[in-house]
Amino acid sequence: EQAGRTLERALAAHGVETRLAGMTVGPTVTRYELELGPGVKVARVTSLNRDIAYAMASPDVRILAPIPGRSAIGVEVPNQHRQLVAVGDILSSGEAARAAHPCEVALGRDISGRAVMANLAEMPHILIAGATGAGKSSCLNSLITSLLVRTTPDQVRLILVDPKRVELGQYNGLPHLLTPVVVSPKKAANALSWAVKEMERRYDLLSEVGVRDVTGYNAAFDRGDLRTEPRAEGVDDPAERLHTRLPFVVIVVDELNDLMMVAARDVEESICRIAQMARAVGIHLVIATQRPSVNVITGVIKANIPARLAFAVSSLADSRVILDQAGAERLVGQGDMLLLGAASSTPRRIQGAWVGEDEVAKVVAHWRRQSPSVSYTPGVEGTDELLASGTDSGPAGDDDDLCRAAMELVVRSQLGSTSMLQRKLRVGFARAGRLMDLLEQRGVVGPSTGSKARDVLMTPEELDELLAGSDAS
């Protein structure tokens, strides 16, 4: 109350007449609600941001003008003593008890102290960004732990991508995983490509059964409308499809920047296809990055992932990249975040839930006791021989045709450049690199020399002789 009166006096000293209408004390910040006097413009208050912070002896304040649905302005001031929000408290709250969907996860507490649960199926994909140490990894651990506590492997399956190798490795060996935790960026591109194929397979299933989404499919399965066993023992009818229950698939990527550096085109294509189409078939993306630049969070990715979760960032420009508006640069770190839902243009401030390593270890140990032996789905990570992408992957026979086209391009131009193959053949980085390795094995180009183009060891005349011989045979 006293701080609220101090705020009133500080604004009055600058000629802004206000009245303290109420305040809300949250775990991280306190919001003071101010009603403006007659004729006072909202912009007058927002322009006094630094003066308010000075008067309140606070490192920074965030002004919400106006509070959605209210004729009042909110001034959010960080608390001197923050409350710890534990993921266990959120999962034992009334909000969690009322959450029936398996993809509901614990986020934290809002500014009024209410527990916040988020439904990944409604988002249906979420982009998480913020500076180092702002709380992204803790948020991911809370999301994954929520899924492990609330669901069985029959309900939700996970693909975890962790290029940093240390954040998500503790979840290895869980029955919820479709494949071991993916640490190689190239294998991560393959995993995203597998998700695209799985999405297409599921759409074929839904079309065949005549339902609109995976929830309707599973409901038909539970009612017994779908055939799950052969009509007669020992009789195998190839035209008869046997149905199984479809679990939701959640793909968690801990650092998008590493994937974009290795295979930007492949990763971006797969992410966009999944983001555009995978909601109905129950495949959902959770993507995190600590580098919120336009090179990592491209316009195409942003357009297809409407739900954003912004942690503290260092500049207004970074906040605009994530949220398309200011606000994230005024967060105070340590799990303080803004949630921008797909259906709202006003972000919601939340103190993120925290889960300790010992708690994660207990949950993981429980599931390992339940399922001592885990069988992974084959082919999720792809193979080293063919680094596939959403559009570049094809039958093995395609390699011979592409390799011949690549050989002609390289020899006739006398330029051993991987980027040239990408442009001319319209393939991704991984496929172009594989083609260049094949040309090296066949003696067409020399070994890699760093960022420079490779030496071309074959002349156009030798190529003509080689092609003439192969055509004759």
Runs of H (alpha helix) within 61-135: 87-91, 94-98
C-alpha 83/C-alpha 138 separation (Å) is 16
- Matching residue, tokens 């649905």: 69
**pLDDT at residue 387, rounded to an integer:** 41
pLDDT value at 450 more than 80: no
pLDDT value at 349 more than 80: yes
The whole-model pTM stands at 0.77
The whole-chain average pLDDT of the chain stands at: 86
pLDDT (tens digit per residue) in 81-119: 888 999 999 999 999 999 999 999 999 999 989 999 999
Q: Residue 308, Cβ neighbours under 10 Å: how many?
A: 25
Torsion angles phi and psi, residue 458, rounded to 5: -115, 140
C-alpha 147/C-alpha 233 separation (Å) is 38
C-alpha 470/C-alpha 190 separation (Å) is 33
Give the DSSP letter of residue 113. Answer: S
Residue 433 CA to its chain's centroid (Å): 26
C-alpha 335/C-alpha 29 separation (Å) is 12
DSSP states of 2-46 as a string? HHHHHHHHHHHHTT--EEEEEEEE-SSEEEEEEEEPTT--HHHHH
pLDDT value at 471 more than 80: no
pLDDT (tens digit per residue) in 40-87: 888 888 888 899 999 988 888 999 888 888 889 999 999 988 889 999
DSSP reduced 3-state for 374: coil
C-alpha 246/C-alpha 204 separation (Å) is 13
C-alpha 82/C-alpha 351 separation (Å) is 10
What is the CATH T-level fold of the domain 2-78, as seen in this structure?
Threonyl-tRNA Synthetase; Chain A, domain 2 (3.30.980)
**pLDDT at residue 253, rounded to an integer:** 94
What is the CATH T-level fold of the domain 397-472, as seen in this structure?
Arc Repressor Mutant, subunit A (1.10.10)
Domain extents in the chain: 2-78, 87-229+242-370, 397-472
CATH code at 87-229+242-370: 3.40.50.300
Mean pLDDT check: name the lowest of 28-32, 337-341, 393-397. 393-397
pLDDT value at 16 more than 50: yes
pLDDT (tens digit per residue) in 181-224: 999 888 898 999 999 999 999 999 999 888 999 999 999 988 88
